[in-house]
Amino acid sequence: MKISSEHFGFLPDGNEALLYTLENENGLIVKITNYGGTILSFIVPDKSGTPADVVLGMRTWAEWIENPYYFNCIVGRTCNRIADARFSIDGIEYNVSANHGKFQLHGGFKGFHQKLWKAEPVELLDEVCLELEYLSVDGEEGFPGNILIKAIYSLNNKNEFGISFIATTDKATPVNLTNHAYFNLSGEGSGDIYSHELLLFADTFTVTDSNSIPTGEFASVTGTPFDFTQPHEIGERILDLYKGYDNNFVLRNQSGNLMLAAQVYDSESGRELAVYTTEPGVQLYTSNWFDGSLKGKSGKPHLQHSAFCLETQHFPDSMNHPEFPTVILRPGDQYKSKTVWKFSNRN
């Protein structure tokens, strides 16, 4: 295993972004920039040993700076949605930036995905790591408190790619971090993900309104297009929904321990992705709003349903729903989250 670095690009303020390459002995190659903690490519061999890039993305540095669809980056201070872009903590109301109509999405106008993180490569006996660090100051995008975040990406020879988050704060504040990776296990630019088989370890989901904001109600997946308790092709019932899937599933595991949350299998390539997480929820998103106006790394347009996301997370808008697992981090406490993507092949 090895990790290396090189120049990637300069930001408008003159700061340099670097590109880090993590490789294991099985042909997995992951390229990550410290701009947004963004995964630019993720090379995985298929059942015949042929490699392909299984995450979508942009072609040029200038396009990565904008990253309009949050491709494969760290999103925060809170991922997903905050209703009316406001919440209260201990009786104090905070108004955060409303970057998506009346609500906030994925951290605001300039979230963590558009920040330059401090980076340090680390080589250990059984894995290579990229440690990233960012200080989000009090008032950034309207959030209270100075919060120090560490994100650790790791790769080992078991074909496991880990994402760990650790955070501390000096004032009570919401924290809900994830990586917004867009996967296509057949390879970037290969078409839609309708034939990908998905298994989710979730029996309920959070009901949402027309803006995808949770109402506070939980509903059973039984008898609905959201039932992936047995493997189903993603495309099997996707046309029964408006645009596609963009829903938070309540995982059976609410213990905070690292457990299996989802499995996705692509029969064409033989690739299988298993997602393990300590998080209580996972957002399934099927690139519903891709309209072909942007081109991907292969030069082909990003089209609707050409990728899926499994964003491990606390539930959306949790700071406004006391019935949800809390996302409020307080001074003296530590936020911890871990997700592992494990790749394998079926012959």
| Bridge partners, residue 259, by sequence | 277
270 class by beta-carbon count within 10 Å (0-12 exposed, 13-18 middle, 19+ buried): middle
Known catalytic membership, residue 314 = no
Return d(Cα 284, Cα 225) in angstroms, integer: 12
DSSP helix/strand/coil, 66: helix
Q: How far apart are CA 204 and CA 244, in angstroms?
A: 18
* CA proximity to 110, closest of 57, 144, 68, 169: 68
Give the C-alpha distances (Å, rounded to integers) separating 93 from 137, 174, 270, 320, 332.
18, 13, 50, 11, 22
Q: Active site residue: 180, 305, 314, 321, which one?
A: 180
Indicate the residue type of 202: A
* 66 in catalytic set: no
φ, ψ at 133 (rounded to 5°):
-140, 140
Helix (H, G, I), strand (E, B) or coil at 54: coil
* Catalytic option among 279, 311, 314, 321: 311
Query: Residue 228 has which token pair?
Result: 């992936």
**Cα–Cα distance between 59 and 316 in angstroms, integer?**
31
81 neighbors 102 (Cβ within 8 angstroms): no
In whole angstroms, what separates CA 153 from the centre of its chain?
13
The residues annotated with a catalytic role in the active site are 180, 311
